[in-house]
Structure 1
Amino acid sequence: MLGLLFALYIYFSIHLKTKLLNIKTNLMEAGYRNLFDEEIGQMVHQGCSSTDWNLIKVSTDFIPDNIQNCKFSGHIRLNSFTGYVNLVGGITFKTGIYNAWLHNCEVGKNALIHNVRSYIANYKIEEGVVIHNITTMAVDGESAFGNGVQVEAINEGGGRDIPIYDYLSAHVAYIMSLYRHRPKLVTALKKMVFDYADFVKSNQGVIGAGSKILNCNTVLNVKTGAATTIDGTKKLKNGTINSNFEAPVTIGEGVIMENFIVSSGSIITDATLVSNCFIGQGCFLDKHYSAVNSLFFANCQGFHGEACSIFAGPYTVTHHKSTLLEPK
């Protein structure tokens, strides 16, 4: 019964999202135009260049005043930039694009992109996003953004691996890892997860509306939901941050994460290291915590110590460097 319900959920989710995507794409095509010659001239005067100006499409209300010292390559979509953003320290900044190289990007209304040391490639940047003082943000080839990554939880030597995906629950993970006496069930569940991972694969990442990406080094093959804050991270690679306005996610200073999925309402900060992990809703990893091949479900907390191949059910808490957690 669980497997059937899961299969129906995945099936209808995929088909509904496909229809909505097609509708949204058609609407987007209708709302864009080519740059006028006067606009190209103004942008060149403001220090901008493009490998092909014909590949840049803009919204009907676009004004080029706030596009300065930028390089564009590939297919570009720009919206209007007429608002203001308040930065830390009470600084007010006009929205727009300043000192950046964009390749195959779409930038939403009233976003701010400022001081990109290298480039941004293959991203849809939604409305109200702030990207300030970063090095590189790119999607390289097709990516499932952490979906389908095999996490070797419970047994460090493998054999109970669990493929993670955006909607992983403790119940489904428990069945996939500990019901090895039901091989057909486990195989069917894993196939559904891999089918979902194939569905979400894309060569374009998304930065959700209202997100802030500040003072970061490398963001590679990462997708974020709305209201995500990424501030001072060292490296994020191959992952999804499922943030939303009701339960935003914060990724803080010194964090390095690779092959991950972070659920809504979680906070990961203070030089935490994460590799091959699923982090559930409302989790808090802090104070130099380190996690490898582990699953953390709702409301877990980890401080100071480390986790290796841990299956941490809801409300698991560790606050000591010497803690050894063993699955029972």
Structure 2
Amino acid sequence: MSEITTLPADQFGYGFIPPEYLAGNPHEYAFRDMQSNAASRKWRHLSSEEIETLARNGNTCTDWMQFLVEDPFDPGLIRNSLFAGLVRFGPLEAKYLQYHDFVVPVGVTNSRIIACDIGKDCAIHDCANLAHYIIGEKVIMSRIDEMATTNHAKFGEGIIKDGESEDVRIWIDPLNEAGGRSVLPFADMICADAYLWTIYRDDAKLMDRFKEITQNQADSRRGWYGVVGDGSVVKSCQVVKDVNFGPSSYVKGANKLKNLTIKSSPQEPTQIGEGCELVNGIIGYGCRVFYGVKAVRFVLGNNSSLKYGARLIHSILGDNSTISCCEVLNNLVFPAHEQHHNNSFLIATLVMGQSNMAAGATVGSNHNSRGNDGEIIAGRGFWPGLSSTLKHNCRFASYTLLTKGSYPAEMNIPLPFSMVYEDRKSDTLNIMPAYYWMYNMYALERNSWKYSTRDKRKTIVQRIEADHLAPDTAKELMDGILILERLTGRAWYRAQNDASSKPLPSDAELAAKGRELLEGQPEVVDALFISAEEMEQGKRPVRIVKAVRAWRAYRQMLLFYGIRTVASYLSKYAIHFDYFAAQVPAKVSLEWVNLGGQLAPEAKVDGLRDAVRSGIIDSWKDVHAQYDQWWAVYPRDKAENAWEILRRLTGKASISKAEWNGLLDQGLEIRKYVEEQVYITKKKDYANPFRGITYRNDAERDAVLGKVEDNSFIKTARKESVDFAAMVEKVRA
């Protein structure tokens, strides 16, 4: 049976809110009046002359008494249009609006307007059905097939309205496509919120409270109108339903926009382009969504882009990110993620930001069970190489680089800054810890720099740590040292025991022996096959390569992190060394959480969870305020973390002035090494003869690429060394 029903002519444009949901409201326009600030407006009825002019220009209205205007009002600017329900116009004068090269006259032509409030000097042309919208000032709307708001509109949020059943609530399923980590989107959601909701699933009370505060912070009553903010342009679109447009939004050629909040401002305008189909989502400030993008059940962070047919489904993408061409399903991706090229995709993952997906990389969707795909969790700086493929489940430490390969089994790589690669000849999985520090310092240092400089957000809901040496990676480095020591000790004992079945010593004894060998007998370690079979669920050997150099690099990285962080804190806040050393607690926990790109001590995150469970924190606004408080004290927390790292590295419960000055001297040497390696690793591009085969001579190459000495980041690295040296002298004890 057809769902088309007949509506009496006198009801057209009225009854937006069903009578059963009007209880407590004086009339169906109560919310609309609040949104339009009706108390301050000076609408009036039309004069008989104005009605005659409108009718003569081909306009019709179901009831001219429901057509209200503000002065000045030029009725000659409205032509060939139909009006129904209560329609209210702001001032309307003869002028033109121009957006780039698109110029249109102020007024309304060839349109059907149903129960809308239209702001000052708007241009609405060829809009076949515009219903239940509040339109700001100087808005351009042109060639829209259908644009309407329903009485139960949620604008992308995971709430339900009065009288609705739970099954209409919109959930997003990040990290696990089976839905075991579902979250409810809301207008101000950021990755940190989604992380808390996604990861702590065993905390049932917390899960209930998140759902409760999400529902409670929205108005469940029916009858809110859609809004088009001041200075917006919406043109050449097909279907727009239940969408809120922030000020200065620019939308052209979209196929379908449904149930969305589009955040935008004059300082950070959001743009949506041709062929896009976006349903059930939140789009952040300053976003760009162009050219055939398909997004369903999603949150897009501020200053992020979706382009060229990208598919974002059941996913949350953090600020300052770009996805172009690719398919992204069931993911929580922290800020500063880059993913390009048409044949790469990302499925059922948690990627903790500052990451990059190379062409052809297939992270997920390789079934190795009879159920749904599993999960992949990757720390900051994750980079799967060209055409690399992974199977669920996998876990990777921060700054893991996967070289090109089809990895056939699950992996757990706890060693940060590693390069993982396959040796096809010997059928071995090789892991080189500290690869970046040893062989690609340019990329490592430049990444930290670029993630800071590319952060163009003006609306910053959460601050992000961009440095590759920070409390989260420091903990991984400390753990990595112990892992290398234990694996080295185990390899030595296995070599001594040969094929005997003699049991191995305890892990503590293995680590002690490994430390002894790594410190004093590097040639013995180099001769060992250091196995890490627990890092891959497969039968082939897994080998740690360059263990001695990696172990030393990890200690060097930690030393530099500790010295630089403490020195920076003392310098920036003019704190005396003695005062700081006396104030740091006797023991500082190294357990931190990467909370959507912001780093926080785990104890503070646990405290936040307690506060939410108990009702002390009762809104997402309060949660975000907690993030801000953490950031305010982050320099102190980070400095204490770095001090604890130095204490553990030196084996001293306290560090004297002389020892601190000695550490500063070591810091200068490490900074010199960093600067040199930045130059050396970049110069490889010039020394490689194959990099020059497309140039007639070096002069042509330098004209195209520039000289290595003139590289902007190499200059930046040199300046950072000078600044570091000046800071060191400032904070000597």
Q: Same fold (TM over 0.5)?
A: yes
3-state SS of paired residue (1:175): helix
Question: Which whole-Å deviations, capped at 9, do the CAs of 1:151-177 have from their partners, x for residues lacking one?
Answer: 011110002111111111211111111
Flag the structure with more relative contact order, 1 or 2, with Cα contacts below 8 A and sequence separation at least 6: 1
In the alignment, structure 1 residue 42 sits paired with structure 2 residue 64: no
Structure 1: distance between partners of 2:225 and 2:305: 29
Structure 1: distance between partners of 2:193 and 2:237: 34
3-state SS of paired residue (1:156): coil
Q: 2:201 is matched with which residue?
A: 180
Q: Does 293-302 or 177-186 show the bigger shift?
A: 177-186
Name which of 269, 282, 291 aligns with 2:290.
269
Structure 2: distance between partners of 1:61 and 1:106: 16
Deviation at residue 92 of structure 1 after TM alignment = 4.0
Q: 2:63 is matched with which residue?
A: 52
Amino acid at match of 2:243: V
Question: Which whole-Å deviations, capped at 9, do the CAs of 1:173-232 have from their partners, x for residues lacking one?
Answer: 111111112221221122111122335864411001100001111101111100000001
Name which of 314, 320, 325 aligns with 2:335.
314
Q: TM-score, normalised by structure 1?
A: 0.89
Q: TM-score, normalised by structure 2?
A: 0.41
Residues paired across the two proteins, number: 306
Q: 2:175 is matched with which residue?
A: 154
Correspondences of 1:184-223 after superposition (within 5 Å): 184-198=205-219, 202-223=223-244
Name which of 224, 248, 253 aligns with 1:232.
253
In the alignment, structure 1 residue 101 sits paired with structure 2 residue 129: no
Structure 2: distance between partners of 1:291 and 1:181: 27
Structure 1: distance between partners of 2:280 and 2:241: 11
**2:71/2:92 contact within 8 Å kept:** no
Structure 2 unaligned blocks of 5 or more: 1-30, 159-169, 351-376, 378-733
% same residue: 28
Query: What is the root-mean-square deviation in Å for CA atoms of aligned residues?
Result: 1.8
Q: 1:27 is matched with which residue?
A: 40
Deviation at residue 87 of structure 1 after TM alignment = 5.3
Question: Which whole-Å deviations, capped at 9, do the CAs of 1:116-155 have from their partners, x for residues lacking one?
Answer: 2x21000011101000111110012321111113101111
Q: 1:7 is matched with which residue?
A: none
Structure 1: distance between partners of 2:223 and 2:269: 24
**2:257/2:277 contact within 8 Å kept:** yes
Structure 2: distance between partners of 1:52 and 1:276: 40
Which has a greater percent of strand? 1
Structure 2: distance between partners of 1:171 and 1:92: 42
Bigger-Rg structure (1/2): 2
**1:176/1:190 contact within 8 Å kept:** no
**1:175/1:186 contact within 8 Å kept:** no
Deviation at residue 24 of structure 1 after TM alignment = 2.4
3-state SS of paired residue (2:211): helix
Q: 2:263 is matched with which residue?
A: 242
In the alignment, structure 1 residue 84 sits paired with structure 2 residue 96: yes
**2:329/2:346 contact within 8 Å kept:** no
Name which of 136, 143, 150 aligns with 2:146.
136
Deviation at residue 324 of structure 1 after TM alignment = 3.4
Question: Which whole-Å deviations, capped at 9, do the CAs of 1:74-100 have from their partners, x for residues lacking one?
Answer: 0100122223112564x6432011110
Structure 2: distance between partners of 1:182 and 1:99: 56
**2:281/2:297 contact within 8 Å kept:** yes
Structure 2: distance between partners of 1:227 and 1:22: 18
Amino acid at match of 2:195: Y
Structure 1: distance between partners of 2:51 and 2:180: 59
Judged with a 3 Å threshold, the aligned counterparts in structure 2 of structure 1 residues 109 and 270 are, in CA distance, closer, same or farther, namely same
